[in-house]
Amino acid sequence: MKALTFQAEGVVKVTDVPKPGIKGAGEALVKVTLGAVCGSDLHILHGHTPINQGAVLGHEFVGVVEDVGAEVKRFKPGDRVVSSFFTSCGHCALCRKGWFNQCVDKATFGHGEYFGDLGGGQAEYVVVPLADHSMEPIPAGMTDEQAIFVGDILATGFFGAERAEIRPGDVVAVVGAGPVGLMATMCAQLFGPARIYVVDMVDSRLETAQELGGIPINASLVHPVEAIQGHTGGIGADSSIECVGLLSAVDTAIQSVRGGGTISMVGVPSAVIGDFPYLTMWMKSLTFRAGWCNVQAYMRPLLDLIAAGRIKPDAIISHRMRLEEAEEAYRLFDAREATKIVLKP
C-alpha cells in the first residue's frame, strides 16, 4: 500500500509499504478514507520528535472498518470510524479515573517505534489496537471532513477552552491562530464569552479566526498584551488559551490575563524547561493548566455538537490534496501557506 514515511530530518516520502493486518483480538483494520497533516507532523519533519527511519506518518484519520479481531465488540466491517490520535484501554487505573491520555497502554499513531510502534493515517490502511476504546463511529450523514478533527485538533481546542474556565460574558485571549488555535476559538464560544481576542502574526490565519467569531490581534503590528489590556480597561482577559507552545507565546498567555484569571496551555512546549513567573502567578492568584488532550473523553460529545450544527470544524480546511502529494502538503503547511490540509488516499 502507499504510505507517507519518515526518511531523514527534513525528508518524508510516499513509498510502498506492506499492507498491515490484524494481529491482536482487540484490533481493527481501517481503510483510510481521509487523513490530515498536523503541526506535530512538522515537529517530526524537523527532527524535534525522535522517530525511526521508515515509520509511517499521520495521526489524524477517518476510514471504514475492513476487519476486526475476535474481541472487538463495538465495530464491524463497513462501519465508518474516526480514531483518536492515541490508543487507550479504558480499564487501567488511570483510564478509570477518566485520564485516557495517561493510559498505561497508550500508543500514538504515526510516531514510529518510540511511541508504541503503531502505523499511521497518512496511508491507505492502518491498524487500530484497543479499537473499542480508541475509535468512535461517525454518525450517518456526517462527512469525513466534518468528523476527522474530532480525534485530535478539535478535541484539543475544546480541552483548552474547557480548562480555561470560561464563564458567560468573559473576555478570552487565544494565543495562536494555527489549526488548534482556530479550534479553540470555535469551542470557546460554546461557553458563552462576550469577546475572544486571537493573537497571531499570519494575516490569513487571523482572517479565518475572524470568520470563526474571534477578534484578530496581529502581534507583528502591535504588542499583544498591551492590545488586550487596552481593550479591557487595563485589566486583561479573564482567561487565555495557549495554542502555540513557544515559551514566548506561553509568556503572552500568562501576561494577558487579569488577576484571578486562568491560563490553559495546550501548545506542545518548544523547550523542556524554561523560566516560569512564580511571583507573578502568586501575586495575581493565577491558575495555570497545561496538558495534551484527553481526546477519548470528548469524541462523542464533539460528534454530537457537529451533527447538531453547533460547531463546523471543516471550515478551517484550506487544501484538499491526494496522499501522493503529501510531500508537497508538508512543504505548504511548513511554509504556513496552508491553514489545514487533508489528504485523500
Contacting range for Zn ion; rule: CB under 5 A; set: 150-158, 181-189, 242-250, 300-308: 150-158
Select from 27, 136, 152, 238 the one that contacts Zn ion (CB under 5 A). 152
Does 103 sit near Zn ion (CB under 5 A)?
yes
**Shortest gap between Cβ of 47 and Zn ion (angstroms)?**
17
Smallest distance from Zn ion to CB 227, Å: 29
In the complex, minimum distance from the CB of residue 24 to Zn ion, in angstroms, rounded to a whole number: 15
* Closest approach of Zn ion to the CB of residue 344, in Å: 18
Smaller CB separation from Zn ion, 36 or 188: 36
Asked if 131 interacts with Zn ion (CB under 5 A), we say: no
Task: Please tell me whether residue 95 binds Zn ion under the rule CB under 5 A.
Answer: yes
Q: In the complex, what is the shortest distance from the CB of residue 117 to Zn ion, in angstroms, rounded to a whole number?
A: 18
Kindly write out the interface string for residues 39-58 of this chain, putting x where it contacts Zn ion by CB under 5 A and - elsewhere. -x------------------
Which residue among 17, 89, 187, 249 contacts Zn ion (CB under 5 A)? 89
Which CB sits closer to Zn ion, 18 or 97?
A: 97
**CB nearer Zn ion, residue 191 or residue 292:** 292
# binding residues, Zn ion (CB under 5 A): 8
Strands 341-344 and 80-83: unpaired
Residue list 205-264, contact with Zn ion (CB under 5 A)? none
Closest distance between Zn ion and the C-beta of residue 287, in Å? 26
Q: Give the nearer residue to Zn ion in terms of CB position, either 103 or 150.
A: 103
Residues binding Zn ion (CB under 5 A): 38, 40, 88-89, 92, 95, 103, 152
